[in-house]
């Protein structure tokens, strides 16, 4: 059975199913046909646990604040507020004995807000 989302090992874009030639896949970016053993799966390429953390943070944020602004400047302000918290966490880590974990969780929160902005962008 084919991987649901096969990725070109060279350019890392999603490949398409080849319909005419005797290959399972075609990479439109590289203009090249690929065998099943050549393509990569999302699982192989992504550090999944980090993405799961971001996805969970996104779910938490949606539960806590179900409404997200439609205006992109307002969306940007929310995302950048989280990015500012990364700055604060890094400064506290460097100069005030802050924790490394705080930097990670602020980065995850920022990534989640980037995802939320992406989902709501129009």
Would you count residue 11 as binding Zn ion (CB under 5 A)?
yes
Would you count residue 75 as binding Mg ion (CB under 5 A)?
no
Q: Between 85 and 104, how does the x/- string for binding to Mg ion read (CB under 5 A)?
A: x-------------------
Nearer CB in complex with Mg ion: 39/108: 108
Q: Which residues have C-beta within 8 Å of that of residue 43, sequence separation ≥ 6?
A: none
Question: How many Cα neighbours within 13 Å face the side chain of 40?
Answer: 13
Q: Between 20 and 59, how does the x/- string for binding to Zn ion read (CB under 5 A)?
A: -------x-xx-----------------------------
Transcribe 25-63 into DSSP letters. EEETTTTEEE-TTTSEEHHHHS-HHHHHHHHHHHHHHHH
Q: Which of Zn ion, Mg ion, none does 108 bind, CB closer than 5 to 8 A by kind? A: none
Exposed, middle or buried by CB within 10 Å (0-12, 13-18, 19+), for 112? buried
Would you count residue 109 as binding Mg ion (CB under 5 A)?
yes
Q: Which stretch binds Mg ion (CB under 5 A): 37-45, 58-66, 94-102, 109-117?
A: 109-117
User: How many other C-beta atoms are found inside a 10 Å radius of the C-beta of residue 81?
Assistant: 12
Binding site for Zn ion (CB under 5 A): 8, 10-11, 27, 29-30
């Amino acid at each position: 059975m084919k991987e649901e989302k096969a990725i070109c090992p060279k350019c890392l874009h999603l490949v398409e199913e080849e319909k005419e030639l005797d290959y399972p896949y075609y990479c439109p970016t590289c203009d090249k046909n690929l065998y099943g053993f050549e393509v990569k799966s999302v699982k192989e390429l992504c550090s999944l646990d980090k993405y799961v953390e971001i996805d969970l943070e996104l779910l938490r944020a949606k539960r806590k604040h179900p409404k997200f602004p439609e205006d992109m400047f307002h969306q940007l302000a929310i995302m950048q507020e989280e990015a500012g918290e990364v700055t604060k966490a890094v400064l506290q880590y460097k100069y005030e004995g802050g924790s490394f974990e705080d930097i990670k969780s602020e980065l995850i929160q920022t990534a989640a807000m980037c995802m939320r902005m992406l989902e709501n962008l129009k």
